[in-house]
Structure 1
Amino acid sequence: MSTPQDLPVVVIGGGPVGLAAAAHLVERGIEPLVLESGPDVGAAVAAWGHVRLFSPWQYDVDAVARRLLAPTGWVEPEADVLPTGAELVDRYLRPLAQTPAIAPHVRTGVRVLAVTRDGADRSRSLGRARRPFRLRVRDADGERDLLARAVVDATGTWGQSNPLGASGIPAVGEQEASAFVTGPLPDVLGRDRERFAGRRTLVVGRGHSAANTLLGLVELAESEPDTEITWAIRGGSARRLYGGGGADELPARGHLGERLRAAVESGAITLATHVTIDELVLARDGVLVRGRRRDEEASVEVDAIVNATGFRPDLAMLREVRLDLDPVVEAPRGLATLIDPNEHSCGTVRPHGEALLRHPDEGFYVVGSKSYGRAPTFLLATGYEQVRSVVAALAGDRQAADAVELNLPSTGVCSADGPVDDDKDVPVPAGAASSSCC
């Protein structure tokens, strides 16, 4: 059995990294098939469209995508301007998906349920590498199977939030209290304003998602004075998030940390450190959050909780694929030591490509923020370099696949001050990947 060469390379996810993969495949003369579960490309980015990135356009546009867009009359945004998530979709992702080279290969409203080898489950080895991949998908017409010569998983981690409980499992009562809990980036000054105005809000997490929400709540409190803001972190200090200030190579990122520090010092935000959440109890006027501060019992009653503890990869659809993942970070084993958040910031991760992203099932790759597993140091520009290298390998260009280069901004709130003892908080408003990045 041989893998039919006329089968497409299936790219799962129509966000920035997935569409960049499609662009590189097209330029290499390889047919892509992009499957996006949302109603339009960039659906995950659109979910936080109200947030302004702190990385400018120069880091947000893939080089090959730029070449495909140029003949269409696309006007490239100014390199030093900071886009919102909505602008990233409207001015880049949607135009890219509509180019003549990409448009015929994009399918929206298609969810991938499972990936496997055609005719071989995970335990079967004989002839495995010669078999195409089989994908079970669901769309408006029901379930069906597709075949692919290779698969690139660029689904990100958006929507796969870590629980509020500190031990990797939900706090007692977390499911029952879900009506009081939002995701990491609610639009507190827009569509979600009524939920927070004049109410008591607890924000949990120590990353960029938490910072943006906290600063939005501070602004809301200026016109809604009864708005109360409590910020809970598991670590002993918020210094890591305050970051490098004026020394940050991304000025907006440094300014974010400075504004947050000022809000805490002024008393606009009540910061609680060393917090462990054990239980959520429905109360008459809200939800009672019970837990510990250090080893002492503590509780607070609030009207809303923002879960900004970050994300984790969803590996359920890959159950029949042979993966080689680090047991701690849940990233490819060779990549894990390079992205350990205890050692690296998003500006100090060394360039890496196909050689560190490959898995035992030849032709299968996880790229983008999902490739980083639970590490919070992913950058959008990193994802673009990943797919350039992966596609070069798929095209048989080993030299290009191994020649990985990347120029990233350093310092700032991505930097760790030492061992990080709270949850991963993927910094969504940093570079707009399908899940998030800086």
Structure 2
Amino acid sequence: METRSATPSRVSLIFTRRARCAGEFLLSDQPSFQPSTKVIHSNRSYEKQSNSILFPIHQTATYIHESVGVTKGYGYSRGANPTVNALEQAISAIEGTAHALCFRSGMAAISTLCFALLKAGDHVILSEVIYGGTIRLFHQVIRNFGIEFDYVDTAKPEAVATAMKPNTKLIFVETPANPTMRLTDIAAIAEVAHKQPGVLLAVDNTFMTPVLQNCLDLGADISMLSTTKYIDGHNATIGGSLATHDEAITERLRLVRKTIGTIQPPFDSWLALQGIKTLPARLEVHCRNAGVIAEWLEAHPLVAKVNYPGLKSFSQHELAKKQQKAFGGMMSFELKATTEQALAFMNALKLCTCAESLGSVETLITNPATASHCDLSDETRDRLGISSGLIRLSVGLEDPKDLIADFEQAFAAIFGAKA
């Protein structure tokens, strides 16, 4: 294959006439790509029969053997599927790993992670502010297998170090935390974890994605994403992913996924594969819009507090600048109002949609106390800063002027002259 050397001013697209028709790039070219190019082109392959520009949906349960015991790498779709693999290649490109694995949901990814790496008698450290589904998994399922776990304020590395036990095997953190936006210093916690042999650090990076915060580069061992959110971006699929630089861990996760059947369906993978192509472009708008909305809310006389890492008033603003490339599209806030008034305010919104998800083109709003964290006691929620009136906001791609107008009419409807 004839090649030409790339210069710093030129992203080299080096391939033969045959490879150009197939849309294939040399692996050596891909590290020079920027994120917006990676999600479209890195590790990309076309269907060869027709040269369709979109990778096809391989909606099949099984595959023909070329001869007894000889396949093209696919035998049964519970183990692997070409369409799922195409999405995995796109995710691995932005994670910076050789491989990534996709699952039926974010919770399926976390469950597979636990089943693959933990056994009876092991100990896990969890962020004390974390997605309610993760809490439910550990309380209702994982503990039944004889696995211990403790919730720790992972924003304090010294607290994590104190919580470590001889049988600790996994530290699982979520940063920014859902829904308070509390941050964990990933590099600091990785240092704590790796002082004890055999301890792994996994990070739920759903709010940021690797485009805004590459937790593996910061020292984490495993990156987890709910691809339902920003990766898909259009509320069309349910999915999750895991990525790591450790090939042994990858193969263990692959084996357990195949065994318990948690692989993502091909159609969902195909839809997410279309969504990921616009991820960097969408995130740029999400971040810009969220900054405008956060500043407007903070200045409003009826808003008591805004939790958004991009605000200078946010207590961990400097850490956010250190480990995030931008501040994301997620925030939460509290009103100077009763819980009933806060919920009435949410119901009065017309453009913002009340729904249990995030990271989509539409602006979504929810009340964690009655949705994602409803399983927690009132006392626990209050201690963690998840009050009954806390409002979580996923800022979409609408014009901020229109979102602010929606907030203004809702304030006027509920608070009248005070607004």
Question: Could you say which structure has the higher strand fraction?
Answer: 1
Normalising by structure 1, report the TM-score: 0.24
RCO comparison, higher one (Cα < 8 Å, 6+): 1
Normalising by structure 2, report the TM-score: 0.25
